[in-house]
Chain A
């Protein structure tokens, strides 16, 4: 039977590289996906995920296996790091031109994934996080509540609102919708 995450972290802190690599191999993909979908940047996502893994090695790391799973803890860490970066980016690019893409223009360019990305990017921050964690990472409402520090009921309502907004925004792509574009 393999070692649990607490053992692996403890081994990694003592300098055992194979323990660190095992943790990395087990968890880096969902973390990278989540960071990329939040920031829209491969370089940022790479940096954020690396920082989160290295933070696990610090003695003051807040991971407590009795309270949460490592995956949930790391997704929370990625969320916090991504938010910090996005806030810094917003402060530094106040004059950036607005994104005028719409589902129609995206469809004209044959960019359905781009339209989905734009629609999700247009959601309020917590709705976006909840949707990404629920749909793409298949997390339970309780796990999402832990990561986003919301009540389960609040997570549920935000998820419903996010999906309703996306239905409206992406309605043009529905197979039942007659395209006029």
Chain B
């Protein structure tokens, strides 16, 4: 057998193409920069805090009473907004941690598709046979002001490097390769309507 014949023989051993999901799976694991979004959120929080402080000082200097119901209501609303901003910032920074810790999704113990990242602190999990669930650590009430349902429920928790929650009748576990929270946090989930 000469060199050309051997080369031809070797060329018969062709590799398969990478799986179609290869690029998308790797893309889902790419840690995107989240800093500008954090900075913006934090900026808003600080601005609101500063506005509250200015208003309080101004009210005190003008001789007005802090017990004035209107002022109290405004301050209370600003305080609530401030807290909400901090929660949003924390939830988004948790997503940034998750992105950088190679999360693997298991549904009832079986490896499932990769985690997908939505806007802000929202992430999507594909639950085989049940559809897509959106999850977040940002506390979203289950009822709207008008009494209607938002679709979100507290479904589990984040503990150390694990996110665990119930999706329908199935147990979803997301394992990260490093801790993503210092202390336990609840996880809120919503089943997304199929399109």
Chain A residues packing against B (C-beta within 8 Å): 12, 14-17, 20-21, 24-25, 28-29, 32-33, 36-37, 42, 45-46, 49-50, 53-54, 57, 112-113, 116-117, 120, 135-136, 163, 166-167, 170-171, 173-177
Supply 21 A–B pairs (Cβ within 8 Å), ascending by A: A15-B31, A17-B27, A17-B32, A24-B23, A24-B26, A25-B23, A28-B22, A46-B18, A46-B22, A50-B25, A54-B26, A54-B29, A57-B30, A113-B14, A116-B12, A120-B13, A135-B7, A135-B10, A163-B6, A166-B10, A170-B1
- Confirm or deny: B57 has a beta carbon within 8 angstroms of a beta carbon on chain A: no
Q: Mark B65-94, 1 if CB is under 8 A from A, else 0.
A: 000000000000000000000000000000
Residue from B25, B29, B30 with most neighbouring chain A CB atoms (10 Å): B30
Contacts of B26 in A (CB 8 A): 24, 50, 53-54
Nearest-neighbour CB distance to chain B for A59, whole angstroms, equals 12
Q: Give bound CA distance, A136 to B10, whole Å.
A: 9
Contacts of A174 in B (CB 8 A): 1, 5
Contacts of B13 in A (CB 8 A): 37, 113, 116-117, 120
Main secondary structure of the interface of B (DSSP, over half): loop
B interface bracket (residues with beta carbon within 8 Å of A): 20 to 34
- Confirm or deny: B145 has a beta carbon within 8 angstroms of a beta carbon on chain A: no
Output the nearest chain A residue to B102 by Cβ-Cβ distance: A54
**CB <8 Å contact, B33 and A15:** yes
Q: Give bound CA distance, A171 to B1, whole Å.
A: 7
Contacts of A53 in B (CB 8 A): 26
Nearest-neighbour CB distance to chain A for B71, whole angstroms, equals 43
Q: Give bound CA distance, A57 to B6, whole Å.
A: 40
Known: A24-B23, A171-B1. A116 touches B10 (CB 8 A): yes
Output the nearest chain B residue to A172 by Cβ-Cβ distance: B1
**The residue from A14, A21, A42 contacting B16, defined by CB atoms under 8 A apart:** A42
Q: Which of B94-117 contact A (CB under 8 A)?
A: 102
Known: A112-B9, A120-B13. A42 touches B19 (CB 8 A): yes
- Confirm or deny: B15 has a beta carbon within 8 angstroms of a beta carbon on chain A: yes
Output the nearest chain B residue to A176 by Cβ-Cβ distance: B1
Contacts of A25 in B (CB 8 A): 23
Contacts of A117 in B (CB 8 A): 13
